[in-house]
Structure 1
Amino acid sequence: MVANLDLVVDGSSIKGLKSGAREIVRHIRPNWKENDLQFKVYTDGITNQLIGVWHEDQNDQILVRVYGNKTELFIDRNLEKKNVQILNKAGCSPPLYASFTNGLSYGFTKGVTTTTATITEDPIWQAVARELAKLHKIEEGDRENPMLFPKMKQFFDLLPSKFEDQSKQKRIEESGYTKDKLAQEIEELESHLTSLKCPVVFSHNDILLGNVIWDAMQQKASFIDYEYGACNYQPYDIANHFNEFAGVDEVDYSRYPSKDFQKSWLRCYLSHYKGISSSAVDAQELEIWYVWVNKFSLASHVFWGVWALLQAYHSSIDFDFIGYGITRLNEYSNKKKEYFHLKC
């Protein structure tokens, strides 16, 4: 049973996070002694604030996630709660314990987050491909309406015409990514990608390295944070994941996976998705998927580029969202011609 708490947690300070976590624990773990509680503040996210709390066993900790400022404008929090419950039932997500006014509390996923160094290691990447194939087979959501371009346009519509902060506005103008320019790129990208007629499946849509948990003992990869979970074009999840090999704090696109690595990854993924041996994956189908994924990598750059500019306007988190957004949009511009010309 999920507890619905009339509670606002102060995510602006560690003291506020701990106080809120204590209050939530009183409701969902009343047998835990307050004086024995231990806490860990996680800092991987750039949208929300996250704290873990446990009593005796750190692997039995409860996570409390406080939504970022104004994120309710572009994230459907009721849908996120539904996603967690659906995915938990399918064995793809920890249980949801409670919702509160500005966040969620859910179970801990044992393991460590992947990094730019570990995500290409055996057997981690194979486990990620296997877990994504499992997720994509979940029969949920509206397959007639993939989320990619409606959500991208929602971000775009929420962007201010001009930033009040003059330094931010100057950086955007100097980059050339005005709203008129972005509108043109989104329209062209949508026309190009929807013409591919790619399959649509239930997707995570945000498999950055900090959202991939590797459990070495179980040799298992798990995904966390389903706030963008919805039906989407199947190659998008893979493309978005490959883009994240570059990292977030220090973005380096030389880490984007090579064609050989991508094909090995896709062969593994398709074998698990289709329930066949890796040797049975058709070479022509593999080439089609390679083309699809790289084309959709362009959409990932624009999606998160526009998202980052929106975050720059609303977020209170100490992160250079303008710089990150420009970096993503620059990589889109760098690769657009090459990937638009790829043929199956």
Structure 2
Amino acid sequence: MAIKRNEYLKGCGYEEEIMEAISAVASDLGDVNSLEVIPMKGAMTNEVFQIIWQTKKGDDVRKALLRLYGDGVQIFFNREEEIRAFECISKHGQGPRLLALFTSGRVEEFIHARTLSAVDLRDPEISALIASKMREFHRLNMPGPKKVQLWQRMRNWLSESKTICFPKDITNFGLDNLDEEINMLEKLLSEGYLQDIGFCHNDLQYGNIMMDEETRSITLIDYEYASYNPLAYDLANHFCEMVADYHSHTPHILDYTKYPELEERQRFIRIYLSSEGKKPSNAKVDQLVNAAEKYTLANHLFWGLWGLISSYVSKIEFEYKEYAKQRFEQYWIRKHTLLNSPNMMKL
């Protein structure tokens, strides 16, 4: 078998093991003549590659996806739990199949669909498909305790950041004050329907959403951060991701002028609530819209901590610290308005 461009894997420490896994998968799925490894852009937690091979007959090209785990990601989630979730989601028919595991990563089924772009999230038709798929995903019955993971995960990350960050960053990012902020948000947002939970993706940026152009079906991928959480939090996360373009010349820069207006958020949530055939009342829609707005605050702290920690542990080329700065700034800019507006007080 001829292996092309495997220089991308050199120096990772597990090259031989990786190539054995790739070769085994390729052999199981086709009579391999040559195999090529091509890096894919846009990933910020792992390194992702497309594996392409041609059969000996030369009339068939097949693909798989290679995921190499990023440095330090064990800080953010438990890899064994993530793999169990991946396999369970696959069994539910919601994502790609797991083809092979090795020490530093895995090989996954290649989804023959288009990864969405930043502008796709604002397309009303595509947005409606995403809303319905989110509702379906949230209804998955996954193993493990069905309780909110958000707050403890943030506390763990805050503790980790205080351990690894330089004193200057601890001061500049106000880490010593974040315990109080997290406690305040948890108390405020743990009331009644604000606490309606389901199995959430928690990282629903456009790069984790794929669409089959022919069938218009949506597939959600990459479940590293998936867990049971408040449904409003996952909706808030998706709205916040509309300000990002990770494939621009400045992928770390967030443009908050692109945050969806009220009408767009209402439309998304109305479709989300209608996806099971029941037409929601305007009051129900507004209730969830307002709840999601509150949860944007938790989302800013969550990804702010992620960015700050990643700036110390990740080798992926991305301005993590600047990204973190923008998320924390947005938290403080929006906090007073969101927690003191009349609509928020009614919650």
Q: TM-score, normalised by structure 1?
A: 0.87
Are the structure 2 counterparts of residues 86 and 145 from structure 1 closer, same or farther at C-alpha, using a change threshold of 3 Å? Answer: same
- Give the secondary structure class of the aligned counterpart of 1:52: strand
Identify the match of residue 273 of structure 2 among 267, 270, 282: 270
Offset of residue 114 of structure 1: 1.9
Offset of residue 16 of structure 1: 5.4
Are the structure 2 counterparts of residues 41 and 191 from structure 1 closer, same or farther at C-alpha, using a change threshold of 3 Å? Answer: same
| Aligned equivalents of 1:146, 1:47: Cα separation in 2 | 23
- Give the secondary structure class of the aligned counterpart of 1:37: strand
- Aligned equivalent of 1:123: 125
Aligned counterparts, 1:148-167, within 5 A = 148-161=150-163, 163-164=165-166
| Aligned equivalents of 2:234, 2:312: Cα separation in 1 | 26
Task: Report the count of equivalent residues.
Answer: 324
Aligned counterparts, 1:14-93, within 5 A = 14-15=9-10, 21-30=18-27, 32=30, 35-56=33-54, 60-93=62-95
| Aligned equivalents of 1:244, 1:159: Cα separation in 2 | 23
Task: After superposition, give the CA deviation of every residue in 1:179-221 in whole Å (9 maximum; x if it has no partner).
Answer: 2122222122112111354211111111111111122222122
- Aligned equivalent of 2:298: 299
Instruction: Give unpaired runs (5+ residues) of structure 1.
Output: 1-10
| Aligned equivalents of 1:12, 1:131: Cα separation in 2 | 38
- Aligned equivalent of 2:261: 258
**Conserved in 2, the CA contact under 8 Å of 1:172 and 1:322?**
no
- Give the secondary structure class of the aligned counterpart of 2:122: coil
**Conserved in 2, the CA contact under 8 Å of 1:59 and 1:110?**
no
Offset of residue 243 of structure 1: 0.3
| Aligned equivalents of 1:291, 1:124: Cα separation in 2 | 23
| Aligned equivalents of 1:265, 1:137: Cα separation in 2 | 17
Deviates more, 1:300-309 or 1:15-24: 15-24
**Conserved in 1, the CA contact under 8 Å of 2:98 and 2:109?**
yes
- Aligned equivalent of 2:339: 340
> Percentage identity across aligned positions?
27
Q: Which amino acid in structure 2 is aligned with residue 38 of structure 1?
A: E
Task: After superposition, give the CA deviation of every residue in 1:303-324 in whole Å (9 maximum; x if it has no partner).
Answer: 0001111111111112111110
| Aligned equivalents of 1:59, 1:224: Cα separation in 2 | 23
Task: After superposition, give the CA deviation of every residue in 1:8-35 in whole Å (9 maximum; x if it has no partner).
Answer: xxx9945457866532122223255665
- Cα RMSD of the aligned pairs, angstroms, is 2.3
Task: After superposition, give the CA deviation of every residue in 1:107-150 in whole Å (9 maximum; x if it has no partner).
Answer: 11222222221211132101111111111111224454211011
Are the structure 2 counterparts of residues 20 and 318 from structure 1 closer, same or farther at C-alpha, using a change threshold of 3 Å? Answer: farther
Q: Which amino acid in structure 2 is aligned with residue 241 of structure 1?
A: H
| Aligned equivalents of 2:291, 2:61: Cα separation in 1 | 39
| Aligned equivalents of 2:237, 2:60: Cα separation in 1 | 31
Are the structure 2 counterparts of residues 115 and 55 from structure 1 closer, same or farther at C-alpha, using a change threshold of 3 Å? Answer: same
Q: TM-score, normalised by structure 2?
A: 0.86
Instruction: Give unpaired runs (5+ residues) of structure 2.
Output: 1-5
- Aligned equivalent of 1:138: 140
- Aligned equivalent of 2:3: none
| Aligned equivalents of 2:230, 2:221: Cα separation in 1 | 20
Offset of residue 253 of structure 1: 0.8
| Aligned equivalents of 1:15, 1:312: Cα separation in 2 | 23
| Aligned equivalents of 1:62, 1:306: Cα separation in 2 | 32
| Aligned equivalents of 1:205, 1:25: Cα separation in 2 | 29
Q: Does 1:187 align with 2:186?
A: no
**Conserved in 2, the CA contact under 8 Å of 1:21 and 1:51?**
no
- Give the secondary structure class of the aligned counterpart of 2:131: helix
Identify the match of residue 227 of structure 1 among 199, 203, 224: 224
Are the structure 2 counterparts of residues 130 and 162 from structure 1 closer, same or farther at C-alpha, using a change threshold of 3 Å? Answer: closer
Deviates more, 1:101-110 or 1:301-310: 101-110
Offset of residue 163 of structure 1: 3.2
Offset of residue 275 of structure 1: 2.9
- Aligned equivalent of 1:7: none
| Aligned equivalents of 1:58, 1:245: Cα separation in 2 | 38
- Give the secondary structure class of the aligned counterpart of 1:61: strand
**Conserved in 1, the CA contact under 8 Å of 2:33 and 2:53?**
no
Q: Does 1:201 align with 2:198?
A: yes
